[in-house]
Amino acid sequence: MKRRLLASTATLLLALGGGSAALACEPDYTGVTVTAAAQTGPYIASALQKAAAGWEKKTCGKVAVVEFPWSELYPKIVTALSAGEDTFDVVTFPPAWAPDFTDYLTEMPAAMREGADWEDVAPVYREQLMVWKGKILSQTMDGDAHTYSYRIDLFENADNQKAFKEKYGYDLAPAKTWKEYLDIAEFFNQPANNLWGTAEAFRRGGQQFWFLFSHVAGYASHPANPGAMFFDPDTMDAQVNNPAWVRGLEEYIRASKLAPPNALNFSFGEVNAAFAGGQVAESIGWGDTGVIAADKKQSKVAGSVGSAPLPGADEIWNYKTKTWDKQDHVVQTSFMAFGGWQAAVPASSGKQEAAWDFVKYLTSPDVSGEATVTGGTGVNPYRISHTTNLERWSTIFTDREAKEYLGAQKYAVTAENIALDMRLPGYFSYTEILEIELSKALAGEVEPQAALDSVAQQWNALTDEFGRDKQLAAYRASMGLPEK
């Protein structure tokens, strides 16, 4: 405090003397270094570093971004938090880790939870993914929801349109249902022309399960039964082997057979490369696909990048009645895959005020908006303003590409039916079980139902091992459901 008072006095004296420092250091954090933990860049870490440069000029403070490989980030953070060590002032993490971190985090300052900037954050983040047991303990710094990408040039080719209509009986257009998605993938699966139907992540350890979740969400996330996609929110019994999951897995496997020949080794990076390289007609994934594919320096399809919401379904599984409920329209369920990186301030930090000020600057509309259009940051839209500033996006897209991309991104975070990703203690234990069985099913070693029956059995055993009541309470909290 004494150092800050002295620095403020110096600033005032310079101001009285007509010095140029009159507007510097606001607020004044001279001599303060905020240490922020992030995964090894460029993704996310570069967004922190870019924001740090601006915050340092504004406040005269310093930011040290400490990077760890993905596999080390969780243990480094959880060890420091649980030990009460003043190691990090800001921690960045996916929502799935929130249940293991929330006991050690500070609540967001009240001043950050009001005003235009606060209302600008999409409701799914500020009302759900940033909240744990009624407290706002983190700030979203990256939006992550799956959307749909397609090749405008292929879809609007007159010969393709005629042939598709003759074969399938309806017009070729961006897929609104998963059936249409697979029809389109089948139609464009033309290896002789070095063209395949679709690209998704199918590799174990390569974001595989999030792509399965997107297929499943449209069938399992019933609008009348929110939060029941993964577990029964009344009993904590696994729902992973019900008919919605089986159908989703069957279609996910079908998609793998309409993808390039090495697709079982695809992580999301290979998905982006395949789409930008002109190998596939459509794909699903995060917003990075559209940004990379629109970049003339690294894409063969720039100018022809179409975007739309995830496909959906007109019948959804009702876990309570154990029946398929026919809908009067196609419900295009948005799935918050991964859910976007969060930034939070540990209770053990001795620089909480400065740390929250940095988080506020990092996630401000202008700073975060620039990050969304800066290659390599990994930051996707999470503010409403991110999806409405066409001028900013015109540096990447054509007008049509920008309108479609931003429309899809906005729908993803504001849709009436949004499925949240799983946030649960032991998240990686659950997903490891799933990936083992999922890989067997993709390889044709087991049938989808048998694979998911095995997952359900193991998930239920794992839930009992962690403590069913504890896991049920955490699951309900993560889904925004009241305590039982």
Average model confidence (pLDDT) for the chain? 93
| Percent of the chain with pLDDT strictly greater than 90 | 86
Q: Are residues 351 and 247 in the same domain?
A: no
Residue 323 pairs in a beta bridge with 318
136: in domain: yes
- For residue 133, what pLDDT is reported? 85
Q: Are residues 110 and 190 in the same domain?
A: no
| Percent of the chain with pLDDT strictly greater than 70 | 95
The DSSP letter of residue 42 is S
427: in domain: no
How many structural domains does the chain have? 3
Burial classification of residue 157, based on how many CB atoms lie within 10 Å of its CB (0-12 exposed, 13-18 middle, 19 or more buried): middle
Alpha-carbon distances of 23 from 26, 52, 61, rounded to whole Å: 7, 19, 15
Among residues 317, 337, 357, the one where a domain terminates is 337
The answer to whether residue 29 scores a pLDDT higher than 90 is yes
pLDDT band at residue 2 using 50, 70 and 90 as cut-offs: very low
Rounded to 5°, the CA angle 437-338-105 comes to 120
423: in domain: no
- For residue 48, what pLDDT is reported? 98
431: in domain: no
The pair of structure tokens assigned to 141 is 């710094």
pLDDT band at residue 14 using 50, 70 and 90 as cut-offs: very low
pLDDT band at residue 10 using 50, 70 and 90 as cut-offs: very low
Q: Are residues 177 and 323 in the same domain?
A: yes
Average pLDDT over residues 79-103: 95
Q: Are residues 70 and 112 in the same domain?
A: yes
Among residues 272, 307, 337, the one where a domain terminates is 337
Instruction: Look at residues 199, 198, 200, 203 and name the one whose alpha carbon lies nearest to residue 439.
Output: 203
Element (H, E) at 91: strand 90-93
Among residues 297, 322, 337, the one where a domain terminates is 337
The string of pLDDT tens digits covering residues 38-70 is: 999 998 999 999 999 999 999 999 999 999 998
Specify the CATH number for the domain of residue 246.
3.40.190.10
The string of pLDDT tens digits covering residues 378-435 is: 899 999 999 998 889 998 999 999 999 999 999 999 999 999 999 999 898 999 999 9
Helix axis angle, 427-442 to 448-466, nearest 10°: 170
Q: Are residues 96 and 176 in the same domain?
A: no
- For residue 480, what pLDDT is reported? 86
Domain extent at residue 221: 147-337
- For residue 23, what pLDDT is reported? 61
The answer to whether residue 17 scores a pLDDT higher than 50 is no
pLDDT higher for 157 or 2? 157
Element (H, E) at 477: helix 468-478
pLDDT band at residue 12 using 50, 70 and 90 as cut-offs: very low
Q: Are residues 358 and 292 in the same domain?
A: no
The answer to whether residue 8 scores a pLDDT higher than 60 is no
Average pLDDT over residues 129-146: 94
Q: Are residues 313 and 190 in the same domain?
A: yes
Residue 286 pairs in a beta bridge with none
- For residue 70, what pLDDT is reported? 86
Q: Are residues 182 and 324 in the same domain?
A: yes
Q: Are residues 204 and 77 in the same domain?
A: no
- For residue 5, what pLDDT is reported? 39
Average pLDDT over residues 9-29: 57
Q: Are residues 71 and 19 in the same domain?
A: no
pLDDT higher for 373 or 367? 367
Average pLDDT over residues 139-154: 97
The string of pLDDT tens digits covering residues 156-172 is: 999 999 999 999 999 99
The string of pLDDT tens digits covering residues 266-292 is: 999 999 999 999 999 999 999 989 999
Q: Are residues 42 and 133 in the same domain?
A: yes
Q: What is the pTM of this model?
A: 0.89
104: in domain: yes
411: in domain: no
395: in domain: no
210: in domain: yes
Q: Are residues 22 and 42 in the same domain?
A: no
- For residue 378, what pLDDT is reported? 87
